[in-house]
Amino acid sequence: MAMSGGNAIRGTRVGAGPMGESERGETAPRVRVAYFCATGHETRPSFAAEAEIPETWDCPRCGLPAGRDHTAPPAAPRNEPYKTHLAYVKERRSDADGAAILEEALGRLRASREL
Residues annotated in the binding site for Zn(2+), as ranges? Answer: 37, 41, 59, 62
What does the alpha-carbon distance between residue 65 and residue 75 come to, in Å, rounded to a whole number? 7
CA distance 41 to 59: 7
Annotated binding site: 37, 41, 59, 62
Beta bridge pairs of residue 46: 32
Amino acid symbol at 42: E
